[in-house]
């Protein structure tokens, strides 16, 4: 899952929250530098780190919920296959 973050220059950045390494408060806490793995740079946004962290955490919860749903569907399919095999 990607989330859209607009940097200080107005450019849209689509970020996978799984790869955010750090949030660094800047400008007295009203701005944040975001470091993303393998980007080789940081970018600054006009939001405090607490707001960015809430957005990232919400996205991560959605990712986790989707992973649990997929795992549950796979488990159900395996249980059905095992029951069918046992029934002959």
Report the chain (88 residues): mean pLDDT per 10 consecutive residues.
93 94 95 94 95 91 67 77 81
- Note the pLDDT of residue 24: 97
Domain containing residue 59: 3-87
- The count of residues in the chain is 88
Could you give the number of structural domains in the chain? 1
- Strand residues in 1-88 grouped as ranges (E): 3-6, 12-15, 20-26, 31-36, 42-45
- Note the pLDDT of residue 77: 79
pTM of the model as a whole? 0.69
């Amino acid at each position: 899952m990607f989330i859209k973050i607009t940097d200080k220059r107005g450019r849209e950045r689509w970020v996978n929250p799984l790869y955010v390494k750090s949030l660094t408060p800047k400008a007295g806490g009203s701005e944040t530098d975001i470091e993303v793995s393998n980007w080789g740079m940081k970018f600054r946004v006009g939001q405090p780190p607490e707001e960015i962290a809430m957005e990232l955490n919400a996205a991560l919860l959605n990712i986790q919920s989707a992973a649990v749903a997929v795992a549950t569907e796979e488990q159900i399919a395996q249980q059905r296959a095992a029951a069918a095999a046992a029934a002959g």
